[in-house]
Every structure is written in structure tokens, then in C-alpha cells.
């Protein structure tokens, strides 16, 4: 199976387009282009083709995308420009972006000049998709299995904007639905592993294993440096562990953990060992003996070391749970609970720990707290442990995770119930056993594992090589299996496998002979490995098994949550833009969903063509030479980019360089990622006007001249400003031998207008789940693709099973389990770029800036806008701006009061307290129209009146402190006489709310109570009945 994927040199095949002058293709390259990008209002109007335009042209398609993606129409644009004193978009852009930053060379995208129409896009996508062999039965296994996504969940969760467009549930009052679902996920994990605390997902099995490694390492304050792994871990997990070990000089010792004679001495006597990880069942399919697990655990615990089990979630429904072996950590993937293989991701990894480790668990935990009315309510517990607080002391950089996929997995269990999932597992085991017996009976090949759940490893008859056998399996039986080496193969049975498939496999392993198979006997796992406890007895897992019941349950949950389907979510630094239906559709097509990440490259040429073209487009947009799509979140992109820099420095004999400069305004994941790469973080000051302090930067760069490895800069800055001095800062760092990492979370202000490459950076990450239209999913999935300059290209991450075309002997090892990370969501970004096209894409940034500046200009009459004001001499923000509420603190009005009150007005709050405590950062994106912008501004103006009332001692000001108001509060509370304001004011402060009201499910939550009383799985029936 070890092979390199061939780079596709062929161009994207574009569908037949109507022959108009406007719909041609870019032929010139970007660097030597004498043309400049047309960013005028006139050009916007040309591309927009409004529905109100009565003139049609028979050559002109009527389903163009740009006007569906952008909020402001050309006439609204003119209105907005004129309120700010501009006549044209060109003039506006030139006054917002400093001249030394603006770069108007046309983009060189593999796309029509003004983008595909929606129907052209779907046609094009179908052509690409059909190049993938998605009908072959993928029994490759190795952590990725066929599964059946129940159609009710596909349509009502995966394909429902109410689930996929919501944000991470930081505002719990308007997120109770997905918080309940994530609590269900945690409960499933906690019950199946037997461990009391589970988080609400990590990125994938490999990175979760990386988190376990570092948690174990930190438990001994990094004083011990040897970690044992069983040789039967999946290869991709070993790869990620290797990457994570590097910066800390941790020695990863691969051993046969089944062999206690070999293992015991090292666990007993080597003082440097801090933990051990085994897989259950192992990658070859065998199940490590109970006594061996218990012995390993005892030996580790005798030295206060940590025991981690990577456990298959489906197998855990039948096998004894990790808790029975005193495991400290259990982790794995929940992909096979209904989430398509999707070429390797996105899937939710799980991570569960003992009580002792509850405050050390990475990622987010949903906990139970109570609201103002003492009603139980859910929230993200221990939020203050986030990287924003701990910065470089943080032990994990995980931010965006896999919430949407965790919700799918949780709902899979809700729908099937405990017996349902057990039956699925029993069937898998039964069919595997039947197959094992026929292989043994046939006697041609040798089954090498004597225990299994779903995976069999077979040593081939000497007549065959693995290569021949895989060819035979594919060509004659339409099945893909895995080659371990030249003489042995592995295959895994999954939920989708039928008795007919087993008959086919029997023929494969018996040289075409059909053996008699008895499907009537139901084999059972040996008694000693079977779990005997009852699990998932909570009502939620035993109540929604009919489609009607499930539909209503899903609907009930989604109606408790505010998503983009309700109103704008103006979260600064999060870019909650349209995730269009056309962009989303291909992710549920089997042509993409059924692909296995280790499927031979010739079977996935459509996907590879898409990835190659997306990489080229992103290279053009970033001004870089190469792209890696492997990192599966923004923070992962940071980690990858810095690891690439480190490897480059090592290669250049500069390993001693270990200082990473990071401005104090940086997102918390920046210092956390730097620390995870073994870099020492040195903060750089910012000036009172928000800009980078270049004097401080110079001094720090000078001081660390010999040890400077890198600087991490966010551009436009996390304050939403186009700092004019960024190029100078970059030059300074380069002149001291450092590399420049640009955090591209704010790429939505750069598309076609400037680029990290143009600014002089060496590497950047892009949050495709922000700028490039992948939905936020309520907390993931994400893609943190990185772009690099040529000198860093050889170091981009590889994957030992399926290396990407960029792989070289210098590549860093894998940063996530699959070569293309969260591959299944890549069609979304691909379509976003291709539908806007070379001419349209820059307008995404321009409209984002226009919307932000329009809102800012209206709000500055009522609120202080941080940094963008007359005193600072800064007239415009980039694509986001900060409302400064700190002056009200001494009058006892906090930013959180305004954030909560916005919920009563039907809005999700802007980003609270980042990057400056006591502020709200507003980012409207380009997809919001003038009406929605005004509605938000009007709400904020109305709230200003309430702030004044509170400060002035008027009773009606209390409405801020009690916000948000749930329906229950309005109807049932008995203290209305004493509140000083009416129910009407609480619920309907502005007229539009009478028509369009979103009710928060609960009132304001008690954060402290939630953190002090950590309950993070569903209460059991007994607990409920005791109450
Ligand atoms: C500036 C910045 N950098 C990095 C990140 C981390 O991205 P992710 O959440 O995908 O890990 C974020 C996320 O909000 C961000 O705003």
C-alpha cells in the first residue's frame, strides 16, 4: 500500500460555458500581470446582476452566485458608501488599505473569470465526483469503516443549516440544543469507556493520541522522557505521535506489549518511562488479553505513570471497557457511528479520562449548571482553561474541534439505542467470525490473529504477493483490502457488509470456490472478553427509536439554538459567512463520502484533482508556492506551520533557534502552538493605538538575534486593523534570521487585495472554516490549510501510508491521521472559490470591509470604537471592529450584560473579551445585507438607551442585568412587579421582534456554579428519580 500519489498536472476540466466576452478565463500569470484588479462599484454591479434588473441577455445565465453570496446589492453599496462619504468602491478600498499593503494584481484561479453559476458548479462537481471509484467495497479498515448514516440524521443534522451554521456554544442560553446533543456524545463515550469524564470531541484519533501523550508527559512535569507504544497501533497514529514527540525529545519506544516478559523490565525499572499506549483491538485485529492489560496498568500505576487505551468505539459495545483495566485515558474515533469515511475526515475523536485528570483533559467539556431561575441548563464547563488564559503555559492548543460530527455520532446512538448499537456490533462480529472460519476451513491462506472483533489479518499463500492479491480483490471482486507487507493483508468488516459480501470474500480467500456458509448461527465473543454491564440506560437513548420520535427530538434540539438560519452571527475573528447550499451539497454525495483515505490513488482521481486545484487556487490567493491541506483546524495549521519552520531551521543547521515572538494581542492558540513546538514565547508589545510596537519588536529581535526562530503575526491584526508597519516588522524578523508565520484567520480581509506572500511572510494558515465558507458546525469541523514559500515546501507534512505529492525525504511526519485531513469538506471551499471566480473573489473581502465600516460608522455615534477613532488618526477598520465598553464597568455595566441582552433582540453576541477584555468585536462578513446590518445596529442603539437608563438609576435599566429572558421567565416568574421594567420591554424592545422573535431557552447561566459542580454526562435514571 506504500505509494506516492502522483501530482496531477492536468488542468481542471471546466464545463461548457456560454460564449460571452465576460465569461473567459485568466491566461496570464499573476506575478507578471500588467492588468490590475477592477474593484470599482461598476464592476461589482456587472458581476452582481441583480434580480431587479429587467434587462436580460440570452447568453447570460440567471443563476450567478455572487449576488447570492453577497449581502449588499449595488444600490445598497452606493447608499452605504455615501453615508461614509465615498463615491466608489475603489476609493473606499484605497482609503481603508494602506498603499504599501494593497496589491491589485489579478488572481490566477483555476476558475472562470466571474465564476461558475450554481448549475455549472454542480455539473462540474458531478464530473469530478464521478472520477472517484465510490462503488468499490472499502474493507481497508485501519481506523476508517463503512457505516450507515441514518437518512433522518443525514437530512436533519448533516444537511441542516440549523445544525451546521451555528457557532461553538459559548453563549449557552441560545445553544441548549447542541449542548444537549454534545452532552449525549460525552455520555456515550463515558458509558462505553467506563471513564467518568469525556470531552465533546477532538480532531481525529491520531491527534487525540498526541494529546494523551502530552498529557502523560506533563503529568510528570516533563521530567521523564520515554513513552512506550504497542507495535500494533495504527501506522497513522504512530506517525502523529512521532511528530508530537519531536519538540520535546521524547523517545517513542515501539514494543510488543503483548509480550509481558519483554515489557515488564522496562516498565518496572526504567525511571524515564512516563506512560504507555495500546490499541484495543489492535491494528491487526487481535484483542490484547485482559490479564496483560491489567498487568500493564498495574506496572504503570506503581510508578505513577499513565495508561492510555486507544479503543474502537463499536467494539466497546461488546468488549470490556477500558475502565476495567484501570486505564487513565481512553481515546479513539467515533467515525463508525454514522459518519462517512469521507477520505479520512472530518470525524469526531473521543477522549475520556479518570476523575483525577478531569482538570487536565484537552478540548471542551459540556457541563450542567443552572440559570437565574435555578433551572438546570447546559454550558461549556471550565471555559477559563482555554489557551487565552494559559497562553504558552497551555498544554493543548485545541480550539475548533468536531462538534457537528460528534452530534451525528451522538444522534446515531440516540436513534439506535444501546441494544441497537450492540446488535450492529454483534452482526459485525458474527460476519467476521463466519469469514474467519471459512478462511480457516479453506486452508489456502493463514489467518494470523486468534482473536478479533471485526478485523482479520491473513498471511497469504506463497503463490501470492499482497500486490497481486489486492489486484485480484479489486478487479474480480470489487473489494479493497489493506496490504501490511508483501505477504500479508488485513481487512475489516463493518456495518454495511452483507451476507452476500461475505460470500464474495469467501471466494476471494478460497480461489473462487464457494464454501458452504451457515449464516444461521450467531457467533458470540469469548466470555472472558465480553462486557457484562448495562450501559446507556438514560431516557434519551431509549426514547427516540421511531423516525417520528427522532424527527421531533432533532427538531426540538435545533429550535433551541440560534444559527445563521435565524440572524447574523457577528463574531469577530470567526467570519460566520454564508455556507451556500451548492457548496454543501457534494459532501453528502457517495462519490466523496464513501472514499477511504488509503484507497489507491488511481481510484480517487476526482478527489485528487479537486485537492490539487484547490491547492493551486489557495497558492494564488496567498501568494505562496505550496499548500498542505492536512491540518484539520486553525490551531493545527499553526502547529504545522511552526513545525515546518523548525524542520527547515534544523536542516539549515540552525536548530538552536528557539524563540518565537508573538504580539500580546495574538489569539491564545498562537502561544499554545508555539509552546507545543518546543519554542519559547517572547511577547511583543502593542501601541496604545493597537498597532504592533515596532520599537519593541526591533529590541526583541535584536536581543534574540542568535536564537530567533519565528514571529507569529495576525494580519489584519486581531484588532481588525491593517497595520501599515507589517512589512517593516517582517523585514526586521528576516534580518535577524527568523521566519515569519502569518495567522490567516483574518484572510477574509485579504482576498485578491493583498496576500501573506506579498507582505513577505514565509508561511500562513488559512481557516477554511472561516474565509472559505466551510460552516462552523457548532464547533467544527475546520480545515487549517497552510501555505508556504518555496524554501519551506520540502518540509510540508507527509503520511506514511499515503504520502501526498509534496512528500520528500525532508517532510515532517503527519500532523493528522489522514493525508488530506478533513478531506470531505474541501469541496465546500473549492466551490466557494470557483463560483466567485477571479473577478468576484476580491469583492468578498471588499463587501466584508464595507459592511464592517458601515456598521462602525453608524455605531460610533453611540459607542466608543477601539483604535479606530479621531484621537488615533485611524479612520477605518478592516473587516471587523471593536466596541469598547470598558468605561461602563465602574458603573456596573459589563460587556457580558450587552452580550446577553443582544439575545433578547434575536442576535448572537459579537466576540466577547477577545482580543481586549471588556469589549465586543463585531465582524459582519460580506454575506449580510443592509437590512440585517441595520437591524443589528438598531438593536445596539436601543441597548445603549438601556445602558444609560441603568447608569441613570432608572428601573428599566435592570433589563440588562436580567438578560436574556426566556419565555418561561416572561410567563411564569412572579417578580415582575418589582423588576422596574415590563415584560414587553424584556421580550419586544423593538417592533421587528413581534414578527421575528428567537426565544432563549433559559435565562443567564451561573458560570461559577457550573465549574464548581462539574457534571458532564447525562444523569442516569436513578439520579433523575432521586431528584
Ligand atoms: C486569530 C485566530 N487564530 C487562530 C484561531 C484558531 O483556529 P481554530 O479554532 O480553527 O483552531 C482562531 C480561531 O478562532 C483565530 O481567531
List, for residues 185-197, the tens digit of each pLDDT value: 999 999 999 999 9
Give the distance (Å) from ligand 1 centre to CA of residue 981: 40
pLDDT at 617: 98
361, pLDDT greater than 60: yes
Give the distance (Å) from ligand 1 centre to CA of residue 880: 15
pLDDT-derived band at 870 (thresholds 50, 70, 90) equals confident
Backbone angles phi and psi of 535, in degrees to 5: -135, 165
To the nearest 10°, report the CA torsion of 216, 218, 220, 226.
60
Give the distance (Å) from ligand 1 centre to CA of residue 762: 19
1017, pLDDT greater than 90: no
- Per-residue pLDDT of 592-630, as tens digits, reads 999 999 999 999 999 999 999 999 999 999 999 999 999
* Residue 638 Cα: closest atom of ligand 1: 4
Spatial CA neighbour of 209 closest among 143, 133, 301, 303 = 143
pLDDT at 153: 98
18, pLDDT greater than 50: no
pLDDT at 377: 95
701: left (phi over 0), alpha (psi -120 to 50) or beta: alpha
Q: For a substitution probing ligand 1, which of 573, 631, 772, 882 has the most ligand atoms within 8 Å of its CB?
A: 573
Give the distance (Å) from ligand 1 centre to CA of residue 365: 18
9, pLDDT greater than 60: no
Give the distance (Å) from ligand 1 centre to CA of residue 691: 20
Give the distance (Å) from ligand 1 centre to CA of residue 968: 36
Q: For a substitution probing ligand 1, which of 170, 204, 363, 635 has the most ligand atoms within 8 Å of its CB?
A: 635
Give the distance (Å) from ligand 1 centre to CA of residue 778: 14
CA distance 155 to 184: 20
- Per-residue pLDDT of 409-424, as tens digits, reads 999 999 999 999 999 9
Give the distance (Å) from ligand 1 centre to CA of residue 769: 10
Give the distance (Å) from ligand 1 centre to CA of residue 784: 9
pLDDT-derived band at 386 (thresholds 50, 70, 90) equals low
Q: For a substitution probing ligand 1, which of 639, 669, 774 has the most ligand atoms within 8 Å of its CB?
A: 669
C-alpha cell of 436?
Answer: 474467519
pLDDT-derived band at 54 (thresholds 50, 70, 90) equals confident
CA distance 559 to 519: 45
CA distance 120 to 500: 39
pLDDT at 20: 37
- Per-residue pLDDT of 92-109, as tens digits, reads 999 999 999 999 999 999
pLDDT-derived band at 1020 (thresholds 50, 70, 90) equals low
pLDDT at 1025: 53
With vertex at residue 545, the alpha carbon angle to CA 539 and CA 546, rounded to the nearest 5 degrees, is: 135
pLDDT-derived band at 1 (thresholds 50, 70, 90) equals very low
977, pLDDT greater than 70: yes
Nearest Cα residue to atom 8 of ligand 1: 634
To the nearest 10°, report the CA torsion of 502, 503, 508, 511.
150
Helices marked H in 49-110: 66-69, 74-83, 89-96
Q: Three-class SS of residue 13?
A: coil
Residues in the ligand 1 pocket, defined by CB under 6 Å = 399-400, 573-574, 633-635, 667, 669, 714, 718, 743, 745, 767, 782, 784
The number of CA neighbours under 13 Å toward the Cβ of 610 is: 31
Residue position matching grid coordinates 534580518 = 735
pLDDT at 690: 86
Lowest mean pLDDT among 28-32, 73-77, 197-201, 686-690: 28-32
Give the distance (Å) from ligand 1 centre to CA of residue 765: 10
Long-range contacts of 727-731 (CB under 8 A, 24+ apart): 727/100, 727/101, 727/759, 727/760, 728/694, 729/692, 729/694, 729/697, 730/759, 730/760, 730/761, 731/760
CA distance 350 to 202: 6
Nearest Cα residue to atom 16 of ligand 1: 573
Interhelix angle 634-651/669-676, rounded to 10 degrees, is: 40
User: What does the H/E/C string look like for 749-783?
Assistant: HCCCCCCHHHHCCCEEEECCCCCCCCCCCCCCCCC
Backbone angles phi and psi of 936, in degrees to 5: -65, -45
204, pLDDT greater than 90: yes
Counting residues of the chain whose pLDDT is more than 70, the rounded percentage is 95
pLDDT at 381: 87
pLDDT-derived band at 705 (thresholds 50, 70, 90) equals very high
For residue 279, what is the DSSP state? E
Give the distance (Å) from ligand 1 centre to CA of residue 983: 39
For residue 502, what are the CA distances in angstroms to 435, 436, 493, 514?
Answer: 6, 10, 9, 11
Query: For residue 217, what are the contacts with CB-CB under 8 A and spacing of at least 6?
Result: 224, 227, 248, 250, 274, 275
1027, pLDDT greater than 90: no
pLDDT at 183: 97
Lowest mean pLDDT among 1-15, 573-587, 842-856: 1-15
pLDDT-derived band at 450 (thresholds 50, 70, 90) equals very high
Across residues 215-236, what is the average pLDDT?
96
pTM, rounded to two decimals: 0.95
Backbone angles phi and psi of 380, in degrees to 5: -75, 120
Q: For a substitution probing ligand 1, which of 203, 632, 634 has the most ligand atoms within 8 Å of its CB?
A: 634
Most distant CA pair in the chain: distance in Å? 90
* Residue 574 Cα: closest atom of ligand 1: 14
Helices marked H in 303-461: 387-390, 403-442
Dihedral sign (CA 559, 564, 566, 570) = positive
Per-chain mean pLDDT for the chain: 94
Q: For a substitution probing ligand 1, which of 207, 667, 821, 880 has the most ligand atoms within 8 Å of its CB?
A: 667
- Per-residue pLDDT of 470-507, as tens digits, reads 999 999 999 999 999 999 999 999 999 999 999 999 99
pLDDT-derived band at 27 (thresholds 50, 70, 90) equals very low
30, pLDDT greater than 70: no
**Residue, of 230 and 1027, whose pLDDT is higher:** 230
Give the distance (Å) from ligand 1 centre to CA of residue 972: 41
Give the distance (Å) from ligand 1 centre to CA of residue 668: 8
C-alpha cell of 81?
Answer: 458608501
Give the distance (Å) from ligand 1 centre to CA of residue 939: 28
pLDDT at 50: 75
Dihedral sign (CA 153, 998, 69, 788) = negative
Nearest Cα residue to atom 5 of ligand 1: 634
* Residue 782 Cα: closest atom of ligand 1: 10
pLDDT at 837: 97
28, pLDDT greater than 80: no
Q: For a substitution probing ligand 1, which of 398, 403, 572, 745 has the most ligand atoms within 8 Å of its CB?
A: 745
Q: For a substitution probing ligand 1, which of 363, 394, 399, 718 has the most ligand atoms within 8 Å of its CB?
A: 399
288, pLDDT greater than 90: yes
Nearest Cα residue to atom 15 of ligand 1: 745
1004, pLDDT greater than 50: yes
Contact 19, 59 (CB under 8 A): yes
Give the distance (Å) from ligand 1 centre to CA of residue 398: 9
pLDDT at 2: 36
Give the distance (Å) from ligand 1 centre to CA of residue 634: 5
pLDDT-derived band at 1021 (thresholds 50, 70, 90) equals low
Lowest mean pLDDT among 44-48, 54-58, 174-178, 237-241: 54-58
Peptide bond into 346 cis (omega under 30): yes
For residue 596, what are the CA distances in angstroms to 344, 558, 570, 802, 824?
Answer: 6, 31, 37, 11, 11
Give the distance (Å) from ligand 1 centre to CA of residue 396: 14
Beta-bridge partner residues of 229: 254, 277
* Residue 784 Cα: closest atom of ligand 1: 10
Q: Three-class SS of residue 224?
A: coil
pLDDT-derived band at 830 (thresholds 50, 70, 90) equals very high
β-strand pairing of 329-333 with 306-311:
parallel
Nearest Cα residue to atom 9 of ligand 1: 400
For residue 816, the Cα-to-chain-centroid distance in whole angstroms is: 12
Give the distance (Å) from ligand 1 centre to CA of residue 538: 35
* Residue 666 Cα: closest atom of ligand 1: 1
Q: For a substitution probing ligand 1, which of 170, 364, 400 has the most ligand atoms within 8 Å of its CB?
A: 400
pLDDT-derived band at 389 (thresholds 50, 70, 90) equals low
Across residues 556-571, what is the average pLDDT?
98
CA distance 880 to 746: 9
Kindly provide the b/e burial profile for residues 207-235, where b requires at least 16 CB atoms within 10 angstroms of the residue's own CB: bbbbbbbbbbbebbeeebebbbbbbbbbb
Residue position matching grid coordinates 477613532 = 869
pLDDT-derived band at 5 (thresholds 50, 70, 90) equals very low
Amino acid at each position: 500500500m506504500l505509494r506516492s500519489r502522483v501530482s496531477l498536472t492536468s488542468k481542471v476540466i471546466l464545463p461548457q460555458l456560454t460564449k460571452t466576452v465576460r465569461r473567459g478565463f485568466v491566461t496570464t500569470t499573476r506575478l507578471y500581470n500588467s492588468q490590475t484588479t477592477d474593484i470599482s462599484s461598476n464592476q461589482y454591479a456587472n458581476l452582481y446582476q441583480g434580480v431587479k434588473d429587467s434587462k436580460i441577455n440570452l447568453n447570460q445565465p440567471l443563476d450567478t452566485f455572487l449576488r447570492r453570496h453577497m449581502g449588499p446589492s449595488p444600490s445598497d453599496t452606493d447608499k452605504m458608501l455615501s453615508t461614509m462619504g465615498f463615491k466608489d468602491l475603489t476609493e473606499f478600498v484605497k482609503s481603508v488599505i494602506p498603499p504599501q499593503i494593497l496589491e491589485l494584481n489579478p488572481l490566477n484561479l483555476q476558475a472562470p473569470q466571474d465564476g461558475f453559476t450554481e448549475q455549472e458548479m454542480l455539473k462540474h462537481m458531478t464530473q469530478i465526483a464521478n472520477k472517484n471509484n465510490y462503488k468499490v467495497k472499502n474493507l481497508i479498515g485501519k481506523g476508517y469503516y463503512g457505516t450507515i448514516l441514518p437518512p433522518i440524521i443525514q437530512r436533519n443534522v448533516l444537511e441542516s443549516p440549523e445544525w451546521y451554521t451555528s457557532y461553538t456554544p459559548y453563549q449557552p442560553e441560545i445553544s441548549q440544543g447542541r449542548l444537549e446533543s454534545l452532552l449525549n456524545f460525552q455520555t456515550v463515550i463515558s458509558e462505553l469507556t467506563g471513564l467518568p469524564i469525556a470531552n465533546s470531541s477532538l480532531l481525529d484519533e491520531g491527534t487525540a493520541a498526541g494529546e494523551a501523550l502530552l498529557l502523560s508527559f506533563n503529568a510528570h512535569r516533563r521530567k521523564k522522557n520515554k513513552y512506550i507504544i504497542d507495535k500494533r497501533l495504527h501506522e497513522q497514529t504512530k506517525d502523529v505521535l512521532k511528530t508530537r514527540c519531536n519538540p520535546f525529545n521524547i523517545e517513542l519506544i515501539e514494543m510488543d506489549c503483548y509480550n509481558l516478559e519483554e515489557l515488564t523490565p522496562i516498565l518496572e525499572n526504567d525511571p524515564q518511562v512516563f506512560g504507555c499506549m495500546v490499541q484495543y483491538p489492535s491494528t491487526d485485529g487481535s484483542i490484547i488479553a485482559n490479564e496483560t492489560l491489567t498487568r500493564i496498568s498495574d506496572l504503570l500505576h506503581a510508578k505513577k505513570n499513565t495508561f492510555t487505551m486507544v479503543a474502537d468505539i463499536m467494539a466497546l459495545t461488546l468488549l470490556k471497557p477500558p475502565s476495567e483495566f484501570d486505564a487513565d485515558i481512553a481515546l479513539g474515533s467515533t467515525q463508525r457511528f454514522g459518519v462517512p469515511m469521507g477520505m479520512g475526515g472530518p470525524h469526531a475523536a473521543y477522549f475520556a479520562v479518570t476523575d483525577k485528570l478531569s482538570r487536565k483533559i484537552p478540548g471542551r467539556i459540556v457541563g450542567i449548571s443552572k440559570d437565574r431561575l435555578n433551572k438546570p441548563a447546559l454550558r461549556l464547563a471550565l471555559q477559563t482553561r482555554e489557551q487565552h488564559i494559559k497562553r504558552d503555559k497551555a498544554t493543548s492548543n485545541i480550539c475548533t474541534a468536531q462538534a457537528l460530527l460528534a452530534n451525528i455520532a451522538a444522534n446515531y446512538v440516540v436513534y439506535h439505542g444501546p441494544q441497537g448499537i450492540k446488535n450492529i456490533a454483534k452482526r459485525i462480529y458474527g460476519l467476521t467470525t463466519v469469514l474467519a472460519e471459512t478462511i480457516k476451513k479453506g486452508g489456502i491462506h493463514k489467518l494470523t490473529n486468534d482473536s478479533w472483533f471485526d478485523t482479520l489479518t491473513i498471511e497469504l499463500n506463497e503463490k501470492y504477493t499482497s500486490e497481486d492479491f489486492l489486484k485480484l480483490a479489486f478487479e474480480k471482486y470489487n473489494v479493497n483490502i489493506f496490504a501490511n507487507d508483501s505477504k500479508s493483508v488485513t481487512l475489516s468488516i463493518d456495518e454495511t457488509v452483507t451476507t452476500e459480501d461475505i460470500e464474495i470474500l469467501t471466494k476471494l480467500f478460497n480461489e473462487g470456490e464457494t464454501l458452504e456458509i451457515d449464516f444461521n448461527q450467531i457467533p458470540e465473543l469469548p466470555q472472558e472478553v465480553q462486557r457484562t454491564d448495562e450501559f446507556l440506560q438514560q431516557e434519551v437513548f431509549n426514547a427516540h427509536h421511531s423516525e417520528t420520535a427522532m424527527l421531533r427530538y432533532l427538531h426540538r434540539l435545533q429550535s433551541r439554538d440560534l444559527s445563521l438560519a435565524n440572524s447574523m452571527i457577528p463574531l469577530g475573528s470567526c467570519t460566520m459567512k454564508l455556507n451556500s447550499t451548492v457548496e454543501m451539497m457534494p459532501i453528502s454525495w457517495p462519490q466523496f463520502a464513501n472514499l477511504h483515505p488509503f484507497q489507491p490513488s488511481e481510484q480517487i482521481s476526482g478527489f485528487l484533482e479537486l485537492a490539487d486545484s484547490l491547492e493551486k487556487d489557495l497558492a494564488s490567493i496567498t501568494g505562496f508556492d505550496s499548500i498542505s491541506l492536512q491540518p484539520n483546524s486553525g490551531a493545527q495549521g499553526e502547529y504545522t506551520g511552526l513545525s515546518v519552520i523548525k524542520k527547515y531551521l534544523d536542516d539549515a543547521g540552525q536548530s538552536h533557534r528557539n524563540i518565537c515572538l508573538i504580539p500580546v494581542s495574538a489569539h491564545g492558540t498562537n502561544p499554545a502552538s508555539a509552546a507545543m513546538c518546543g519554542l519559547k514565547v517572547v511577547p511583543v508589545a502593542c501601541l496604545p493605538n493597537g498597532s504592533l510596537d515596532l520599537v519593541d519588536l526591533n529590541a526583541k529581535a535584536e536581543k534574540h538575534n542568535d536564537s530567533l526562530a519565528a514571529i507569529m503575526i495576525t494580519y489584519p491584526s486581531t484588532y481588525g486593523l491593517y497595520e501599515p508597519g507589517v512589512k517593516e516588522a517582517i523585514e526586521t524578523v528576516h534580518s535577524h534570521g527568523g521566519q515569519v508565520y502569518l495567522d490567516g484567520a483574518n484572510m477574509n480581509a485579504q482576498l485578491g487585495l493583498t496576500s501573506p506572500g506579498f507582505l513577505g511572510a514565509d508561511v500562513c494558515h488559512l481557516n477554511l472554516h472561516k474565509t472559505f465558507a466551510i460552516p462552523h458546525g457548532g464547533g467544527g469541523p475546520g480545515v487549517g490549510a497552510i501555505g508556504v514559500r518555496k524554501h519551506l515546501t520540502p518540509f510540508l507534512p507527509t503520511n506514511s501510508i499515503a504520502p501526498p505529492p509534496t512528500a520528500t525525504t525532508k517532510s515532517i511526519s503527519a500532523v493528522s491521521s489522514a493525508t488530506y485531513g478533513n478531506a470531505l469538506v474541501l469541496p465546500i471551499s473549492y466551490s466557494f472559490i470557483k463560483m466567485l471566480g477571479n473577478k468576484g473573489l476580491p469583492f468578498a473581502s471588499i463587501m466584508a470591509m464595507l459592511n464592517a465600516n458601515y456598521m462602525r460608522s453608524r455605531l460610533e455615534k453611540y459607542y466608543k470604537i477601539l483604535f479606530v477613532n479621531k484621537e488615533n488618526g485611524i479612520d477605518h477598520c478592516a473587516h471587523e471592529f471593536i466596541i469598547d465598553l470598558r468605561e461602563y464597568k465602574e458603573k456596573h455595566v459589563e460587556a457580558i450584560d450587552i452580550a446577553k441582552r443582544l439575545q433578547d433582540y434575536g442576535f448572537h453576541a459579537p466576540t466577547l473579551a477577545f482580543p481586549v477584555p471588556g469589549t465586543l468585536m463585531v465582524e459582519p462578513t460580506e454575506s449580510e445585507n443592509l437590512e440585517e446590518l441595520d437591524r443589528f445596529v438598531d438593536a445596539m442603539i436601543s441597548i445603549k438607551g438601556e445602558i444609560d437608563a441603568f447608569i441613570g438609576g432608572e428601573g428599566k435599566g435592570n433589563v440588562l442585568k436580567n438578560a436574556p429572558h426566556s419565555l418561561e421567565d416572561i410567563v411564569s416568574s412572579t417578580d415582575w412587579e418589582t423588576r422596574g421594567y415590563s415584560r414587553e420591554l424584556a421580550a419586544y424592545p423593538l417592533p421587528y421582534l413581534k414578527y421575528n422573535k428567537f426565544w432563549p431557552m433559559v435565562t443567564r447561566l451561573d458560570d461559577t456554579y457550573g465549574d464548581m459542580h462539574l457534571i458532564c454526562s447525562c444523569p442516569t435514571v436513578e439520579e433523575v428519580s432521586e431528584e
